[in-house]
Amino acid sequence: MRAFEFKLRTAASMALAVFFMAFVPFFATAQGPVSFAPLVKELQPAVVNISTTRMAQRQLGFEFPELPDNSPLQDLFERFQEPDFEHQEPLESRSLGSGFVIDGDGTIVTNYHVIEGATEIWASFIDGSRLRARILGVDQKTDIAVLKVESKRRLPNVRFGDSDAADIGDWVMAIGNPFGLGGSISAGIVSARNRDINSGPYDNFIQTDAAINQGNSGGPLFNVDGEVIGINTAIISRTGGSLGIGFSIPINLAKPVISQLIEFGETRRGWLGIGIQDVSEDIALSLGRPNTDGALVLSVNPDGPSFGTLKEGDLILKFDGRAIERMRDLPRFVAETDVGKRVRVEVERRGKVQVFEIELGLLAQENPLDGLEDIPLDPPPEGLSEMLGFEFEDLTSENRETFGLDQDVDGVLIVKSLPQSDAEEKGIRAGHRIVEVNQQPIYSAAELRALLGTAIETGREVILLKIADPVGNRRFVAIRLNK
């Protein structure tokens, strides 16, 4: 089975590898099941071992050295370099994984990384039968693949459960093909929920302590009712073996992906057309927020469905009735929503909560935003620079050239970041531009000084800046004032 590694670090700074492998938790009742045997007997026939073949090319022979003109060996070497003497032999490699049948017609779900690059895919059942599979569709972002096998009989299949109902401490069970040992059972509990291991944009894994190993990837994670609540996908391990930390894709996240792959052969995700970032504690303080919930709008695509409705600096609190507790919730919620649906988006704008309706578009590549024209004025006083942690001035033709900035970009130029300041620690550097202060666009140093003066007079300890780097990438940064 192919393993994918993610570098994770322990408290002792030991690097661990996250391997994408199917994983197995177990089913729970209040006291725990006396035996899993009845469930195993019922569910094993619907779980398959996935074997794949990949073909690479192996070149036979060796490279000949370059020879001087008229060398007596040149004719001989040229003969061996002709097509008849250049042999390439196919090199076959095999890998193993797991999967599960979701309907009687032979539709199978597994991980994308299990079948990636495969030229042949076979599904083996517990009764010894073996069927060739074809790919209906794959989604790399969630690591899900849907396959199809043809059978003369109706195949046993699993039932989907509700992964949102799985609580920490619930028993779970996994069936899979670890190290090619098909039909292996393991059990454990739900150790945690909503885990983000930085493997993709929609990470929301169920964590389990059930033993899983290479070859379990793509297999099902069942609850005690015999329903699939997850797709076993990854583990944290030093060696590739189980350490009791495994991750499973929640089936509620997987279901719309699976349906779209069956219907369209691809995913069709909703799209808001905005760029967002996390709300740090400093940013929350600068906005007067009691917590770091929400997603801060960093940019609005002029060709996207949110243009003219959402604005840069809006704090999105709810999407389609679902609270945004952290920034990464929003892309997942949007992706799970049907294209064309009109959704209610609740935002806080300049301290006031507003609700807008937006019709979702189809996820597409966003384009960079163009800047506005600038209005240059005077440099700030020294004392203010020390309070901010950087020195700034109006944009001019000369300093634009010095820092490689286009002539039509806007804002106020940062010319020096002071050592050991909050600004320096947060990555503000010479050549960056301030384009907003406390969600107010600025085009001159005079405007910046005025807004900062107001913030200081009202007793604010933190100001919210929107910073643009020389390339044009923008982000919000909350700076503590050094009074």
pLDDT tens by residue, 271-298: 898 888 888 888 888 888 889 999 999 8
- Check 95, 124, 139, 143 and give the catalytic one: 143
pLDDT band (50, 70, 90) for residue 28? very low
Q: Is 5 exposed, middle or buried (0-12, 13-18, 19+ CB in 10 A)?
A: middle
Considering the domain delimited by 1-267, tell me its CATH architecture.
Answer: Beta Barrel (2.40)
The domain locations on the chain are 1-267, 270-362, 382-480
Neighbour-count burial for 22-49, b at 16+ CB within 10 Å, e otherwise = bbbbbbbeeeebeebeebbeebbbbbbb
* Share above pLDDT 70 across residues of the chain, in percent, rounded to a whole number: 77
Q: Phi and psi dihedrals of 261, rounded to 5? A: -65, -35
Using the predicted structure, report yes or no on whether residue 245 has a pLDDT greater than 50: yes
CA 136 from centroid of its chain's CA atoms:
23
Q: How far apart are the first and last CA of the chain?
A: 58
The answer to whether the pTM exceeds 0.75 is: no
**278's tokens:** 């996390």
* Nearest CA-CA partner of 44 in 206, 174, 134: 174
Using the predicted structure, report yes or no on whether residue 348 has a pLDDT greater than 50: yes
Q: Is 59 exposed, middle or buried (0-12, 13-18, 19+ CB in 10 A)?
A: exposed
CATH number of 270-362: 2.30.42.10
- Catalytic residue status for 217: yes
- Catalytic residue status for 432: no
Report the pLDDT value the prediction gives residue 54, as an integer from 0 to 100: 73
- Check 51, 95, 98, 113 and give the catalytic one: 113
- Check 217, 242, 248, 286 and give the catalytic one: 217
Find the DSSP H helices in 81-155: 112-115
- Catalytic residue status for 113: yes
pLDDT band (50, 70, 90) for residue 4? very low
- Tokens 């006291």, residue located: 31
Using the predicted structure, report yes or no on whether residue 309 has a pLDDT greater than 80: yes
Using the predicted structure, report yes or no on whether residue 428 has a pLDDT greater than 60: yes
CATH number of 382-480: 2.30.42.10
d(CA 460, CA 160): 52
Do residues 247 and 230 lie in contact, with contact meaning Cβ atoms separated by under 8 Å? no
- Asked if domains 270-362 and 382-480 share a fold, the reply is yes
Least confident of 81-90, 109-118, 146-155, 430-439: 81-90
Q: Which residues pair with 412 in a beta bridge?
A: 394, 434
Binding site, annotated residues for substrate: 113, 143, 215-217
